[in-house]
Amino acid sequence: MNAPGLRERKRQRMFRTLSDTAVELFLEKGFDAVSVAEVAAAAEVSKPTLFRYFPAKEDLVLYRIADHEDEAARVAGQGPAPIDALRRHFLAGLDRCDPVTGLNDHPAVLAFHRLLYGTPALVARMHTQLERSEDALAEVLGGDLDARLAAGQIIAVQRILALENWRRIAAGERVEDVRGDAVAAAERAFAGLARGLARGLASTE
């Protein structure tokens, strides 16, 4: 794969700069208390320029997790047993405390998750991102109604598992005290998915 050119690298840097600037302001003052104009001024760009990169204020925050949007589809497409591949991937994420699993107590991660889950506008926008994840996964699983139903269940399971882990960590529990329950819950959840969905899923081979 060819490395991105100079223009693309500059474009990606601008995405990161705008997102990082916005998140810093939102964490400091609150999402609703900061205007798009304030973000643009802090990043030293015009408001129209900001909107060329991020059509909605919420997207400035969700950019940080945008790379996970097609993650389930990528993982499921790696082998003939998509549920098992997704289970192993989620468990590996728990093992390395990947923030997307909710099992991470780094102060910066906790602060970002409080912003994300504690802001209704961001929660609503995140559901749009989850729908795109479902659509991408459904295509890998076969694209028919059974695949769409399966994708919806898989994405919901991953979201609920991560949210439960985050809630416990945010309430003050230590990662090591939560890890065992998190692994057991993931194993149960994916086993249930495997039993319930095995007949309806097309092979990814």
Task: Note the pLDDT of residue 201.
Answer: 60
Is there a contact between 58 and 122 (Cβ–Cβ < 8 Å)?
yes
| Residue 205: predicted pLDDT | 44
Q: Which two tokens stand for residue 118?
A: 């504690």
Q: How far is Cα 35 from Cα 31, in angstroms, rounded to an integer? A: 8
pTM: 0.86
pLDDT of residue 2: 63
Domains and CATH numbers, the chain: 6-56 (1.10.10.60), 68-201 (no CATH)
* The predicted structure's pLDDT at residue 5: 83
For 47-110, the three-class secondary structure string (H helix, E strand, C coil) is HHHHHHHCCCCCHHHHHHHHHHCCHHHHHHCCCCCHHHHHHHHHHHHHHCCCHHHCCCCCHHHH
Q: Which regions of the chain are under pLDDT 50?
A: 202-205
- Alpha carbons 176 and 74: distance in angstroms, whole number: 29
